[in-house]
Structure 1
């Protein structure tokens, strides 16, 4: 291969890039290289062929097959391009299914279902000639003010790693390479600001931020990794071989391809200012371990010349090229047949929608319920109120095609069915009279619609108030990439709307449809009264029911609160099924529900002094803890058993009895936590060791067994090494991280 042919394999080209802002600074960083010039010696990647503008999938596939044939026949080496797309909530393409956002994956606590979802997404991608997906995001949530929280899975590294690895397995089982994002530290930025510096210490990086990536590499066999935009302690990750080579390749044995986040190589020059020019930036990045520059040729166009003049070793270039060619060979690209493009591909099949519905149903979290839920089938007058009540966009996250791309094409239909909450309530309760009023917008100070909402609620037996976010990018929306916030109050005047409707005395079901957890303590009773009457079986009718009387007695709060993290295309029917009781809620909080922005950053993985303490008047205790979620039944957890002694290096086997003590069939998320009683460094007051979803009919009981490698209790010791220390560990199972319902103790001894 000539130097130019090698260089060409290390860059992508964004064929359709226009003025739409679908990546950071995309409007300013358009490629100045013509496509024919960029592909004269071949090309490494084709960037977002389907996912930049609304294009007919079959027509686009025909173009792509023809372009791949051209690369095979009209370039000297005949190497086809690798095609990559975004696939965080499903394939980000027109007419493709939109699944719940990753934060909803976390709320489901269901790795098997997420793996199945990954397979469905991968099958659509492979059918369209796509080889690599830019997902999953394995950033551990550290601050809910950060705009990209909806792309993340959880604040717990085990949940992130387990569910993220399941998605990797699903996608790659269909022959599409997954790409871990964003390695590493991105979510730990100061004050939750996008691209802000990271000042995380060694233990936070090693014990919290790195483990999900390690799991996906070692256990998931992921084939691609994308760098973080962040700088950690003054060194941009894109230029830091300690992470991209030392940890990723040398310590973990990763042998796949590292791709740059979009424009990240040039950002070394333009944003981080550690490179004088693009040549400097390219040399820093490829030497650190970034093999491919995305999305288009930029700094890496200097590589061939730098090898010629001796600034860059030819071995460094050859190593990156070898990895890219090995990836293409693994994907079958080097001898692929592009004679017959698919005539049509159903990207939103009934099977896709059924998966989307199941995942949405499992992800919705019931935060409080005084007995109003589930609504009786005979409900006669229902008011559906709020800015997200009749909005399909409100169901989807930042990286959904609708919010990411179609926002720039308002006259183009979504191409998939997107029933709103209002639509779904009317369908679920066909005998009811359903009124509607928006009340206010998601953003802004306009209160003129609140009076209409109050009137609509006043004439109803129950009001469903749907509030929350509108996902977008870089100021276009309330959450999403670049949409960071200083406050965790609901955007705009939505809280005023809720309080005005509650004041009518009509029982209110508050539905928060958001991309981050908001401070909803004002809408929630104390934990002791969160469940109230767990199942409200009294009919909601024109006469005040006992439930309505309870709600009227406490006019300051909604009668029930539900949290849905962007539940996707089938999210509204899933929510309606929970409202009617056809489905019992089973989601659990994958992230603490904050009490205020002033307590951030906060994690349930805090040491003793990270929680409530007598030495400070500030209380960071969340309104609802990690792992919390109610149902229409109750569960008991008892008889936690574990060995009294276990040696370092062994596997801990613990079991617990779980019983459905109510009258409704439902699923429980059984959560095993631990605390190291005395350690050489401060340890979290609670740490999730294992979890398991189980479905139980009323009165049924099951013994759940956990097999836990003791490495899950490892941490970075005083000498910087990873250790499992001898000592006493307290174990417990309960309804959330702070609920020690049944407890056991284990002594860890040296092998």
Structure 2
């Protein structure tokens, strides 16, 4: 028997898609652009294992298939899934195979279903690896290391049957009051672009497609309020908020997720300018556009009813829904003349193309050992599944994802301030007091969008310190205060512990840990009041008006520092909290951006000098919320500052100290003049280590336009970075190849071109400590 063309693995993908699309009914087409079911509603516990639910069977039958199933393996407080009823490392893959088998064998055309999982910082599943949050990845400034982590976690995700990973990569921290700051790589578009490329390439190496979130401008909402309005112009959008998306698309992202916010008054999910003109016509993107959860239904307010809302989104360029009630009614939209079937075919073709490219049609779903119910059930472990939890992360012979995550955590820990004496600690220091509300909690160091953890997993800062000290060294602990509020009850115990110690390590900061008492919106965001009550100070839906550390933490800091014992402050946080002047109160300040389950060991390694502090700030740290915005790359209008307080950040973008001293020479250009049509030169800078310990330097290259150009210039813009390891007493040279990408700016048509004028190429260890060399860019030859 001759196979249909779409079943021929040797046929070109375009031919297979065309053949399959021509065989489909209108109902089947609508089914392929739908992703309305929560994955955890597709299975239930039964007979010592899991079976498919009637709700899942009905959904498949209603549309003759299923486009995508979201979150089959997701577990967290919002979904209500835990170890009692969810899919862990033993049975995740087997249940995924069960789902796939049912869809293929119980539909007319046998089109496999895309299994879509959250991978915000690791796989959000029971026994899934948890990485440090994206802000921590940004602080490491190491795309290669992140690509390795993305590959390892994606291999784990793929081994459990999933195909697409949803990852926040496109949002920027333009306002640190926003609760989702932890999901961003930082405030800078260039840094985010390089890490987005690493993400796509790493996941692709494991056979997983990435859907990049969120497109576009979600980090620029007014007041740092989640899902609120934006006031972006087109130039700001392209210069800042589309840079990482453009890089991710060029790297091969499988999809982008349309953001909740609007641009120029039109919600992103229905914004034809964004989804069609920019993304497809200008950038040539061929992947899918996915709606954010319930976003299409929000269009009813504009369109009038769910049928029109679905038509509005699809016609603008949205291909795949998420949890909404509008896309399932697209057949009605076609029948009412609100949507052409040709437009629907275009979206269906993109979904099918994604399935072919990811190999879904060429993989036979594993067959479950039938356990009643016609074989649509499986006992735990009845199908091939990942190995025991200790070994489950070794995907395709690659590194252990947890180990790579710990390396990211170490690389990201940033020394913000240091008196030059208190650190590194000696393992035999004598007595150490480890204090504060974040000193002994794994949950408070792993961030939002995290599945429940097995008891006993992870290493807190307290545990890390205890493991690092020499025998005979006494480590005491007191919580001191709660994470929020100003209750002074625990302060005396902490003060007594500090007074009797040789050094106090005070672990402060925030938490994105969700609990069963947290109340959630329909899309999974925490409701602000319930979040505060459950101790959340960061995360989706947890926006702050005041960025200062809570009053109780500041009071604890004052009380502990008043003992005269040297104090090291460690900030475990998901956003840059506004910091007071700490000179005289703390000998050192370290920032650890939610460093993950093993973050306590990473912090201890830096405290005791086993590893040097390598992190550099991916965001500017404000003095208060009153002087926002504080990002380094604002427009250069010569603003002179406030009368009452400094307008400068407490710590600038790119800042980070080490345990040694380094000196930077001036940048040296191979040419002082280039043509706009073919710019090519090198920029070199010598870094000398004048101290006694090895220096891990992140040498940064900035562009500053002094004259010429289409629009008013920014203060400076990151355009490169090089990591150097410099031995004590030695020097090393950072070399930057400077070409069109380095020198480009947006012209009047919002295209990236090299414009004539004078620029300074600046190098240094941070955005506020640079030296520059002038470069003249002459007009292109006619």
Q: In 2 relative to 1, CA 390–592 (structure 1 residues): closer, same or farther, beyond 3 Å?
A: same
Residue of structure 2 equivalent to 1:229: 260
Residue 703 of structure 1 is matched in structure 2 by: 733
Instruction: Show the counterpart of 1:67.
Output: 99
> Do 1:366 and 1:562's aligned partners in 2 also have CA atoms closer than 8 Å?
yes
Give the secondary structure class of the aligned counterpart of 1:522: coil
1:165 is aligned to 197
Q: SS of the residue aligned with 1:388?
A: coil
User: Residue 425 of structure 1 aligns with which residue?
Assistant: 465
Task: Decide which of 585, 604, 607 is 1:579's aligned counterpart.
Answer: 607
Secondary structure at the aligned position of 1:598 is classed as helix
Q: Is the 8 A contact 2:230 2:262 kept in 1?
A: yes
Number of the residue aligned with 1:255: 286
Against the structure 1 CA distance between its residues 611 and 181, is the aligned structure 2 distance closer, same or farther, given a 3 Å change threshold?
A: farther
Match of 1:210 among 235, 239, 242: 242
**Residues 179 and 211 of structure 1: CA distance in aligned 2, closer, same or farther (over 3 Å):** same
Q: Does 1:381 align with 2:431?
A: yes
Paired with 1:612 and 1:337, the residues of 2 have a C-alpha distance of: 66
CA 1:229 to 1:416, structure 2 compared with 1: closer, same or farther past 3 Å?
Answer: farther
Moved more, 513-522 or 181-190: 513-522
Which residue pairs with 1:489 in the alignment?
548
The equivalent position to 2:188 in structure 1, one of 141, 151, 156, is 156
Would the aligned equivalents of 2:178 and 2:544 in 1 still touch at CA under 8 Å? yes
Supply the distance in 2 between the matched residues of 1:235 and 1:416 (Cα, whole angstroms): 48
1:611 positional shift: 4.8
SS at structure 2 position matched to 1:344:
coil
Contact 1:689 1:708 in 2 (8 A): no
1:142 alignment counterpart: 174
Is 1:456 matched with 2:497? yes
C-alpha displacement of 1:299:
0.7
> CA 1:631–1:330 in structure 2 vs 1: closer, same or farther (change >3 Å)?
same
1:178-232 Cα shifts (integer Å, max 9, x gaps): 11110001110000000110011122111111111111112x1111110010012
TM-fit CA distance, 1:445: 2.7
* 2:5 alignment counterpart: none
1:560-599 → structure 2 map (5 Å cutoff): 560-599=588-627
Equivalent residue for 1:392? 442
Secondary structure of the 1:657 match is strand
Shift of 1:175: 0.7
Matches within 5 A, 1:436-447: 436-447=477-488
Superposition deviation, residue 303 in structure 1: 0.6
Q: 1:362 aligns with which of 411, 434, 441?
A: 411
Separation (CA, whole Å) in 1 of partners of 2:414 and 2:640? 25
Kindly indicate whether residue 775 of structure 2 is the aligned counterpart of residue 746 of structure 1: yes
Describe the superposition over 1:31-59 as per-residue Cα deviations: whole angstroms up to 9, x where unpaired: x9932221111101111111132322322
Offset of 1:309 from its aligned partner? Answer: 3.0
> 2:502 and 2:549 mapped to 1: Cα distance?
25
In the alignment, structure 1 residue 276 sits paired with structure 2 residue 309: no
- Would you say the 8 A contact 2:755–2:777 is kept in 1? yes
**1:513 corresponds to 2:562:** no
C-alpha deviation, 1:687, in angstroms: 1.2
Q: Choose from 680, 690, 694 the match for 1:665.
A: 694
Conserved 8 A contact 1:117-1:170 = yes
Following the alignment from structure 1 to structure 2, what is the Cα–Cα distance between the partners of residues 641 and 595? 35
8 Å Cα contact 1:136/1:178 also seen in 2: no
Structure-2 separation of matches of 1:332 and 1:479: 38
TM-score (structure 1 length as normaliser): 0.89
Deviating more after overlay: 721-730 vs 492-501: 721-730
Q: 2:151 aligns with which of 94, 114, 119?
A: 119
| 2:712 counterpart residue number | 682
Match of 2:88 in 1: 56
Residues 315 and 107 of structure 1: CA distance in aligned 2, closer, same or farther (over 3 Å):
same
- Contact residue 191 and residue 601 of structure 1 kept, 8 A: no
Q: CA deviation at 1:705?
A: 1.1
How far apart are the structure 2 equivalents of 1:610 and 1:214? 31
Instruction: Single out whichever of 45-54 and 334-343 deviates more from structure 2.
Output: 334-343
Q: What CA distance in whole angstroms lies between the structure 1 residues aligned with 2:638 and 2:551?
A: 31
Matched residue SS, 1:465: strand
Secondary structure at the aligned position of 1:198 is classed as coil
Q: 2:384 aligns with which of 327, 342, 360?
A: 342
Q: Structure 1 CA distance, aligned partners of 2:260 and 2:337?
A: 28
**How many Å separate the matches in 2 of 1:85 and 1:250?**
28
Distance 1:58 1:183, change over 3 A: same
**Residues 276-332 of structure 1: per-residue CA shift (max 9 Å, x gap):** 1111210111011110001x3521111112212322100110000001111111111
Query: Which whole-Å deviations, capped at 9, do the CAs of 1:130-185 have from their partners, x for residues lacking one?
Result: 10000142112210000000000011100000011111110111110011110001
Long gaps (5+) in structure 1: 19-31, 407-412, 526-553
In the comparison of the two structures, how many residue pairs are matched?
690
Measure, in 1, the Cα distance between the counterparts of 2:748 and 2:111: 51
Find the aligned partners of 1:33 and 1:284 in 2 and give their Cα distance: 32
Instruction: After TM superposition, give the deviation of residue 510 of structure 1 in Å.
Output: 0.2
Q: Is the 8 A contact 1:435 1:456 kept in 2?
A: yes
Kindly report which structure 2 residues correspond to 1:178-197, keeping only aligned pairs within 5 A, or say none.
Answer: 178-197=210-229
Does residue 1:93 correspond to 2:152, yes or no? no
Q: CA deviation at 1:255?
A: 0.3
Deviates more, 1:93-102 or 1:632-641: 632-641
Name the CA distance, whole Å, in 1 between partners of 2:443 and 2:602: 16
Cα separation, partners in 2 of 1:415 and 1:255, compared to 1, 3 Å: farther
Q: Corresponding residue for 1:45?
A: 68
CA distance in 1, matches of 2:560, 2:491: 8
1:304 and 2:304 are equivalent in the alignment: no
8 Å CA contact retained: 1:612, 1:621:
no
Aligned mates of 1:354, 1:311 — CA distance in 2? 52
**Which string of whole-angstrom CA distances, capped at 9 and with x for unpartnered residues, describes residues 680-706 of structure 1?**
432112211100112122122222211
3-state SS of paired residue (1:628):
coil
Output the CA distance in 1 between the equivalents of 2:255 and 2:746.
27
The match for 1:548 is none
Contact 2:486 2:553 in 1 (8 A): no
Question: Equivalent residue of 2:693, what SS?
Answer: coil
